[in-house]
Structure 1
Amino acid sequence: METTYNYEEVTSNNSQELDLLAIPNTDLWLSNIQHTFQGICSAPIPVFSGSLKGDSALNVGAAPLKWDDGALHEVYVPMGLATEIRNTVRFADGRLPHEEEVEACMVIVHMILARDGSNLDGEYKDFGKTIPAKIFNRLLGKLSRRTTGAQLATAKQLIDALELAGIIKVDRSYCPGEYSYSYSITEDLQKRARVHVPLKEADGYRMWSRQQMFNELSSALLWSYPHYTLPDLVQVKAIAVQLDANKIMRKGKRCVYALTNKSKRAMEYWVARRANDRHSVRILDEDIEQYQRMLKSGLPVPHDSALCPRVTDGFNRMASWIRELILIDGEVTCELDFNGLHPHMLYGLFKEELPMNEREYFENVLNATGDIHSGVAAELIRLGIAKDLRKKGKITSMAIADVRGYVKKEHLAYFNRRSASMNNKEIHQVYKRMPEFMALVKKTKLGYNGHKGTSKLLFALEVDLMTEIIRRFYAAGIHFIYVYDALVVAQSRVAEAASIMNAVAADLGLLTRVKQSQSLPSAFAA
């Protein structure tokens, strides 16, 4: 018997929402709910106890890939920066910087400029790049002069001296839990070509603390690594030529894949194009260079960040088109991820506190087909909001596929926004029909971390979900590549892996199920 849902039952109730938001002790509440998905627990994965020195168990061609020691050994900075620091930087007492302090200043500039994931804890905003002070202190605080043993200037003293010398600019706007100081380099330095400069500090500059390296996820990754076969540079460059020629569709999006072959003029053209639409231009030279650096400097040890429980390694930071060339157990791979994981996690978390009409709206309308992106898209069309999206140029047609593409993109960030910003988004016209659900979502933004409390909560839930899945992969002998909320497995293990992922989601009360990506784009065929 078909259920007819009464849309008029669900309406916005601002007074009810405000009452829910007024619940005290938000931080305690967040702390209590962020591990809701730890309710089930398969046998834990043994902590990795092997060696992480010298060569790893991975080969590229016939050559072994060594381990990266987790330290920064070279910087990518404007040409002539070291000379500029020596000539212009002075400390408060008037003294010149020691050579070790010149090097530390170069590390700071590198961190401000780094956009390749080498600084895991930074975040960009309009002025520049926000970097918490504890990240600078972690990198620079324990260094001492090699020659005399005297203590180097502190990170704060180095930053102040760089600012006074006109090398960097600092925005000291600060709000606990909202944003930290942000940094940028001056316009003159921005115009200079950049070069890789090796660092002299023997131990390098530590990018994360050793205590953050070993947990179940990282141990399982170290168990999987020996079963990967990595492409060599010849293979990677051959695929880059195909991508550049075909401009193929990838993951439902048309993207220009540009190979400049080191042409300065071509690079400037594509960088300018990407500045206007960063989602539709991919400069392949940058991806190849990043892969080349990993082959040279070594395989990063998987680790979590000081600010995020997600585990980062060399493969989830890798360009997806290169990652897709990796074989697992000698086989082509397939990526598995959940449909609309974040809205489903929030709904699963708060479901028991919601009235029946809101549950019915989510389950029988938004998720009626098992695809929440399509469900929200259908509601945008039904409510007439899709017409406004088309007028604004945010979608190209009223077809459900086009509207779904817009919704999928919005779902990536919608719940992580500030409350006022959420209210201004078109999909809010759909979600505001679940006022108690939205009140609970907005309550996650009222703790010490502000609106970032939502993303911290989602990441914690996501990591617990993926940890349980990977425990079952480990028990079943399924090797994998971890890409945050997705897992890549060998083609022959796809059905078994998807079944495990769906079983874990069901055990945790989530309605989402796995959707399967194709193994390799046709342009990659041999």
Structure 2
Amino acid sequence: MLSINEEFQYFNEKDCNYKEFLNCQKLLKDINTLTVPKRSVRLLSAKKIEKRLLKISSDKLLAVEYCLVFLSNLVHIEFISNNEKWKSLSSKVLREQIPGSDGTYKKVIEFLLDPIFSFSPLIEVKLNDRETETYEVGARSKQYRLSSLFFSNKVEIYKISNSYHKKKRLDIYLTKIIESKNNLIVTNLLNIYPKLTLPVENEILAEAKRLVKMKYRNGKGKKLTILNGRKKTDLVDQQRIYLEDSLKLFRYLTENGFKYPSISGERSGGRVYDSINMMPRFIRNLIKIDNEKTIDIDFKCLHPNLAVRLYGGTKKYITHELIKDKLEMELNIVKEEHLSFFNKKTQQMKQSVLYSYYKTNEPTMLKNIIADKNKNNYKITSQKMFDLEVKIMTECINRLNKVGIDVLYVFDALLVKCSNQKAVEYTMNQVVSEMGIYTNVG
């Protein structure tokens, strides 16, 4: 680990504010703490697997900790209401987390996939219809999930103790801070974290009960449900989000401090992920800024209007309601389909309920999108839209910060103090108008 003087010198050389770094540290997760599946530490400490662990590293403790790092990547997906629980993990990220010129991370995966724990592995890898791993070079990473050994959804905290491992994690962390120092979204988040008041669980429960009575559904059309001891399989409609899962995710994201905001790669357009925008919306909306209630402000039907801007469309101010009326279908179906329509492969787009609308009303735009997918990659469309979305939100945050308004970034939306609502709405509308994008907030 670096001494205080070495740490200060490191930041000084990188032209970073050391005082700001120390302030952030008080609110952020300890980089040497892992949230791992319950039982995983005990299973990996078993005497009978010691020889297998030594194939990963001659240092048994380091081998165990590398395995725990991999497992920690899969924990949060267990709290999301997703029946299959798969998580994409890129080799780039794994090489960073589990360093080694000899392909150490591959040895970890091979070990975790081996059914040596009561004839069961610790993880599973997703297979396609041909019974091969789901992987496309430059397009799709392999997907993993925790095995049935961990279906209890319980977690435990592990403190990393191997000195070499701690040094490597500190290097990664410091690099992340240096890389993000010029990212306005990240610096805005770090500035606002000390001003936040998170809801306590009793508040969340009360809000959930209120929303259940209102038959609340989230943006994906999933119904909020309180299990109260019932099994999920007992419920006929499986399109649900569960309070119990939401609380587990909330604890995971906040109990030991906020995760340092993470800037996504080129394929995700540089979107920023943090503890706030990863939590369920109905919980996030209970957060207070400067002890004041907040309001969520987002653009109407942003991505379809971004597609119009990027691919030569002609329609202005496309809305979900407009398409609902044209296609005579339920609004939640249109909203849900729009979440993935532009990210689909060409053949999948043609099978979508939205395809007929765009073929009739935006034939040139649709032709240009398909041509771009065929020339580059089917994900190029969403990549370009995410990139433009990030540019929009960065400019909105830039203007608001200049007049003393800090905001919480939630991808294409901002969570702000109620007293700042009008100022934020004005700025967001102004930015998209100047960028030639025909949508507004609402």
Give the corresponding residue for 2:249: 290
Looking at structure 2, the residues matched to 85 and 413 of structure 1 have their Cα atoms a distance apart, in angstroms, of 47
* Structure 2 residue matching 1:101: 3-state secondary structure: helix
Distance 1:272 1:86 in 2: 40
1:275-314 equivalence runs, <5 A: 277-278=238-239, 281-306=240-265, 308=268, 309-314=270-275
State the partner residue of 1:59: none
**How many Å apart are 1:192 and its aligned residue?**
6.0
Larger Rg: 1
Residue aligning to 1:21: none
Which residue number corresponds to residue 220 of structure 1? 188
Does residue 509 (structure 1) correspond to residue 432 (structure 2)? The answer is: no
Cα distance change on mapping 1:180 and 1:251 into 2, 3 Å: closer
Distance 1:94 1:290, change over 3 A: closer
Which of 368, 374, 379 is residue 452 of structure 1 equivalent to? Answer: 379
Give matches, 1:9-24, under 5 Å.
none
Aligned pair in 2 of structure 1 residues 319, 158: CA closer, same or farther (>3 Å)? Answer: same
Give the CA deviation at 1:406: 1.8
Residue 284 of structure 1: how far off its partner (Å): 1.9
Aligned pair partner of 1:52 in 5, 15, 21: 21
The CA distance in 1 between the partners of 2:335 and 2:301, in whole Å, is 8
3-state SS in 2 of match to 1:314: coil
Change (3 A) 1:96 1:272: farther
Q: 1-side partners of 2:52 and 2:262: how far apart?
A: 37
Q: Is the 8 A contact 2:34 2:72 kept in 1?
A: no
176-185 or 311-320, larger mean C-alpha shift: 176-185
- Alpha-carbon distance between aligned partners in 2 of 1:117 and 1:241, rounded to the nearest angstrom: 19
Question: Which residue does the alignment assign to 2:299?
Answer: 338
Q: Quote the residue 1:156 is aligned against.
A: 106
User: What is the Cα deviation at residue 470 of structure 1?
Assistant: 0.9
Q: 1:87 to 1:192 in 2, by over 3 A?
A: farther
For the 8 Å contact 2:79–2:153, the answer to whether it is kept is no
Q: Measure the CA separation in 1 of the matches of 2:85 and 2:248.
A: 27
Aligned to 2:67: 105
Q: In the alignment, which of 125, 131, 135 is matched to residue 89 of structure 2?
A: 131
- Structure 1 position 423, deviation (Å): 0.3
Aligned ranges 1:75-114 → 2 under 5 Å: 75-78=36-39, 80-83=42-45, 86-87=48-49, 90=52, 98-114=60-76
Structure-2 change in CA distance of 1:413 and 1:348 (3 Å): same
Kindly indicate whether the alpha-carbon contact (under 8 Å) linking 2:55 and 2:107 is maintained by their aligned counterparts in 1. no
Identify which of 126, 137, 143 aligns with 1:176: 137
Kindly indicate whether the alpha-carbon contact (under 8 Å) linking 2:196 and 2:287 is maintained by their aligned counterparts in 1.
yes
Shift of 1:312: 1.4
- Post-superposition CA distance 1:128-164 (Å, at most 9, x none): 433211111111106xxxxxxxx99711122223334
Q: CA deviation at 1:310?
A: 0.7
CA displacement at 1:419 relative to structure 2: 0.5
Tell me the CA shift for residue 94 of structure 1.
10
The whole-number CA distance in structure 1 between the counterparts of 2:411 and 2:143 is 26
For 1:219 and 1:77, the matched residues in 2 are separated by 34
| Amino acid of the structure 2 residue aligned with 1:231 | P
Q: Aligned partners of 1:304 and 1:139: how far apart in 2?
A: 16
- Tell me, yes or no, if structure 1 residue 230 matches structure 2 residue 198: yes
Whether 1:201 and 2:170 are equivalent positions in the alignment is: no
Name the CA distance, whole Å, in 2 between partners of 1:55 and 1:184: 32
Match of 1:39 in 2: none
State percent identity of aligned pairs. 25
> Does the C-alpha gap of structure 1 residues 310 and 70 become closer, same or farther in structure 2, counting only changes over 3 Å?
farther
State the Cα distance separating 1:477 from its structure 2 match: 1.7
Distance 1:233 1:132 in 2: 34
**Residue number in structure 1 paired with 2:11:** none
* Structure 2: distance between partners of 1:133 and 1:94: 17
Cα distance change on mapping 1:334 and 1:429 into 2, 3 Å:
same
- Structure 1 vs Structure 2 CA RMSD: 3.6
Aligned to 2:4: none
Taking the TM superposition and a 5 Å limit, the aligned residue runs for 1:488-503 are 488-503=415-430
Instruction: Give, as a single letter, the amino acid of the residue that structure 1 aligns with 2:64.
Output: V
Distance in 2 (alpha carbons) for counterparts of 1:47 and 1:348: 37
Is 2:332 the counterpart of 1:372?
Answer: no
Q: Structure 1, residues 74-112: CA drift from partner, whole Å, max 9, x if none?
A: 312555532469538727969987122122123223324
2:366 paired residue among 429, 438, 450: 438
8 Å CA contact 1:69–1:301 kept in 2: the answer is: no
User: In structure 2, how many angstroms separate the alpha carbons of the residues matched to 1:377 and 1:71?
Assistant: 49
Give the secondary-structure state (helix, strand or coil) at the position aligned to 1:325. Answer: coil
In the TM superposition, residue 199 of structure 1 has moved relative to its aligned partner by: 3.5
Letter in 2 for 1:111: N
Distance 1:344 1:126, change over 3 A: same
Is the 2:217–2:224 Cα contact (8 Å) retained in structure 1?
no
Q: Which runs of 5+ in 2 are unaligned?
A: 1-14, 128-132
Whether the 8 Å CA contact 1:231–1:325 is kept in 2: the answer is yes
Give the counterpart letter for 1:67 in structure 2.
L
Return the TM-score normalized by structure 1: 0.67
Q: Kindly provide the CA deviation profile for residues 346-393 of structure 1, in whole angstroms up to 9, marking residues without a partner as x.
A: 111233xx6xxxx2xx24xxxxxx452122222213xxxx5xxxxxxx
Residue 10 of structure 2: aligned partner: none
